[in-house]
A and B are shown apart, each in its own frame.
Chain A
């Protein structure tokens, strides 16, 4: 009939808690840190997964990366100066992939050579990438000036080069860039274009392009630099013949990526006696990254859950102490005519006020932590609406769950005994 107004219960609960400011604050701390860690962990986890997705996007989710690797047994015996080790992907492999698989949309050969680039007195060690015009379709980067490689450049074996922005700045400084002649080793190349370079390649997933790359037609690379690389190690020279360092294959549809990768691997295994190549599938790496993230989230979630549990137990502890301390007050209220339900509500509200205030403070702490992580560790963090609402509801729930038992204890107090209580 006559309902006790909730706002008055709330106001009276807050007043009671304010009587013991320090105690209330200390009781809240458990929830503050619990909620703070949940918010922070969600933000970091979300940021990391966004970062991983971003990397996958850069790698291209439709791509398969096949790379030459030196077979393990080869290294031990390759000490004779005249010995030449031949391994890795071949031009033939590239052609076979093109011919064998209909789902392959693009098929990009990559030859990597380290060369010193010179322009006048300026010199820069860079990675020369001999490739086809399709490279720029598979790994799209904004063109800052000029043009990228064209099929004609490959057919003509033209001595042309496309530089990355970073390399161009170092080498060409402020001079006019397009049309300049630079030297790669002893050969002259005309700069035909500048593309934006990708920075910050990190983590398990390697981005095919580097900060300082020089892209030349693969036909040019082969005829100018050949396939044999001489590596000088202490006292001995090691000659290696590697035709192609990488083949990047792009598949038409997302669900064909992994089957195609398996098929390519089976086919290459037929023609290679030794395991001198490896296949990387960004999509598989993404799945792996997601699985890792899930595990990470479960572990972090468990830690956060434990700290919230500890916070809740702290509230229950103080509320139980408060019930004992205020037994006489409970007796008086009951004698005056308060129903058990009203005593339960009184103590429950105090517990919920404690946990919710802790939750709000914890939210502030939890939103500050990702800010500092981004600031100092340069790690991306993302705070989602769920990342805010979930901890708030959880802290509210903690107040109810851990406040219920002390409140029920308070309601069970016998007024006759309570009034005699000292």
Chain B
């Protein structure tokens, strides 16, 4: 028996084929993505760069299953998910994707422990198992002494490390980082980048949006966007 495989390269996590996204702004049609063809291989560390309005945020939203394409195809691990409904896309986010945001986006009323456990809660893990796993992740990012704290009691760097631990909780295939160091000072930024690099070295696939060239240096591949198109791709 042979499984139906639509993509012949199993190394690819995400593949966009002639991907387009058109917004209606008033009576004007604005193409945020205009025929993107790109493949992100497993284990890669990508930096997406471009000026504001270049379409990199839209690209991240599409890759993150938060937004749908208006044309073209989106293949996730070889399966076309362009036509998936909201519930199915939620399920992909839950099981396969981990998000890291510029403003951390921790839930303020939950403790560090409960924030990290959040994906496990939606996965339906039992309490003891998810607590143990959250402790393990917290110690991995160096926050095992802060488990009972609330996000407001942490520094920016600590909050981002909680967010990284949360993004890792469901053991995702892909980590999406949207300007992860945008709200941090230079020293903390490099600490966070070092953490992401170590994750990459551990085998994680990472796609990161940034506009700082020195941070983009951490990534192995760089994708430059202009006006909804891929300007160029630099691979190392």
Interface of A with B (CB < 8 Å)? 2-5, 8, 15-16, 19, 328-329, 331-342, 415-416, 419
Check if B122 is an interface residue, CB within 8 A of chain A: yes
Check if B66 is an interface residue, CB within 8 A of chain A: yes
Q: A4-B121, A4-B124, A419-B105 are in contact. Are A340 and B87 (CB under 8 A)?
A: yes
Residues of chain A lying within 8 A (CB to CB) of residue B221: none
**Contact of A336 with B124 in the complex, beta carbons under 8 Å:** no
Check if B95 is an interface residue, CB within 8 A of chain A: yes
Residues of chain B lying within 8 A (CB to CB) of residue A333: 107, 118, 122
**Contact of A336 with B94 in the complex, beta carbons under 8 Å:** yes
Check if B173 is an interface residue, CB within 8 A of chain A: no
Residues of chain B lying within 8 A (CB to CB) of residue A341: 87
Give the A-B contact count at a CB cut-off of 8 A: 64
Count of chain B residues with a beta carbon within 8 Å of a chain A beta carbon: 29
**Contact of B87 with A339 in the complex, beta carbons under 8 Å:** yes
Check if B40 is an interface residue, CB within 8 A of chain A: no
Cα of A334 to Cα of B122 in the assembled complex, Å: 10
Beta-carbon nearest neighbor of A339 in chain B: B90
Cα of A338 to Cα of B101 in the assembled complex, Å: 17
Residues of chain A lying within 8 A (CB to CB) of residue B94: 336-338
**Contact of B122 with A5 in the complex, beta carbons under 8 Å:** no
**Contact of B121 with A337 in the complex, beta carbons under 8 Å:** no
Q: A4-B121, A337-B91, A338-B90 are in contact. Are A416 and B61 (CB under 8 A)?
A: yes
**Contact of B93 with A19 in the complex, beta carbons under 8 Å:** no
Residues of chain A lying within 8 A (CB to CB) of residue B101: 419
What 1/0 flags go to B83-118 for Cβ under 8 Å of A? 000110011111101010100011111000000001
Residues of chain B lying within 8 A (CB to CB) of residue A19: 109
Q: A16-B109, A19-B109, A419-B105 are in contact. Are A335 and B124 (CB under 8 A)?
A: no
Interface of B with A (CB < 8 Å)? 61, 64, 66-67, 86-87, 90-95, 97, 99, 101, 105-109, 118-119, 121-124, 127, 166, 170
**Contact of A335 with B93 in the complex, beta carbons under 8 Å:** yes
Contact of A336 among B67, B108, B119 (CB under 8 A): B119
**Contact of B90 with A334 in the complex, beta carbons under 8 Å:** yes
**Contact of B105 with A328 in the complex, beta carbons under 8 Å:** yes
**Contact of A337 with B105 in the complex, beta carbons under 8 Å:** no
Contact of B122 among A16, A342, A415 (CB under 8 A): A342
Residues of chain B lying within 8 A (CB to CB) of residue A5: 124
Query: Which of the listed residues A19, A340, A342, A419 has the most CB atoms from chain B within 10 Å of its own CB?
Result: A419
Contact of B93 among A331, A336, A342, A416 (CB under 8 A): A336
**Contact of A339 with B118 in the complex, beta carbons under 8 Å:** no
Q: A2-B123, A5-B124, A416-B67 are in contact. Are A337 and B90 (CB under 8 A)?
A: yes
List the 3 closest pairs (A to B, CB-CB), nearest first.
Answer: A337-B94, A2-B124, A337-B93
**Contact of A340 with B86 in the complex, beta carbons under 8 Å:** yes
Beta-carbon nearest neighbor of A335 in chain B: B99
**Contact of A336 with B61 in the complex, beta carbons under 8 Å:** no
Residues of chain A lying within 8 A (CB to CB) of residue B61: 416
Beta-carbon nearest neighbor of B107 in chain A: A329
The distance from the CB of B113 to the nearest CB of chain A, in whole angstroms, is: 13
The distance from the CB of B158 to the nearest CB of chain A, in whole angstroms, is: 18
Beta-carbon nearest neighbor of B101 in chain A: A419
The distance from the CB of B36 to the nearest CB of chain A, in whole angstroms, is: 18
Residues of chain B lying within 8 A (CB to CB) of residue A3: 124
Q: Given contacts A8-B121, A333-B107, list 8 more A-B pairs with CB under 8 A.
A: A2-B124, A4-B122, A5-B124, A333-B118, A335-B66, A337-B90, A338-B94, A339-B87
The distance from the CB of A321 to the nearest CB of chain B, in whole angstroms, is: 15
